[in-house]
Amino acid sequence: MVLISNEDIMDKIKKGILYNCKEVLIMSGEKAHSFREVKDELRKRNYNDFIDFILDISKKLLDSKLLPHTNIGILAYNELKHLKNYNASIFIMLLNAPMSRPTNGDMSTWGQSICLLEYFLPEQEQDSKC
């Protein structure tokens, strides 16, 4: 499956509500819209582009009283403008990687990244691992 199905979207929304979630993170790989398989699937589902697909998910979440947060990579101004009224936040993954190695020998924080989960569920219910 190239894109999450409408049935899976609704199942995840129901699961989030069951666990009393209030917010949902929508994520994709960088430039998902550039892949032929994604374009073909979007066309099959009658979406103009990937942003319209994300917008549809955001609206479904809002209709279910869940706040969408979108992290789908770097967006053009017009894409941000298209999503802004339907998202609590729009952001990109942060990577904190210093250009040089630490001089004190402490490598524990070198190249840290912030990992975000699909839903903010109790630990035993999380499907994804960082």
pTM: 0.69
How far CA 102 is from CA of 86, 94, 96, 107, in Å, comes to 41, 19, 13, 7
Average pLDDT over residues 61-87: 88
**Cα–chain-centroid distance for residue 85?**
16
Average pLDDT over residues 85-94: 74
Tokens of residue 23, six digits: 């917010």
Residue range 12-46, pLDDT digits in tens: 999 999 999 999 989 887 788 888 999 999 999 99
What proportion of the chain, given as a percentage, has pLDDT over 70?
A: 69
The sign of the dihedral angle between the CA atoms of 15, 69, 45, 74 is negative
Let me know: does 13 contact 64? Beta carbons within 8 Å: yes
The predicted structure's pLDDT at residue 97: 38
Average pLDDT over residues 50-79: 91
Tokens of residue 72, six digits: 């789908």
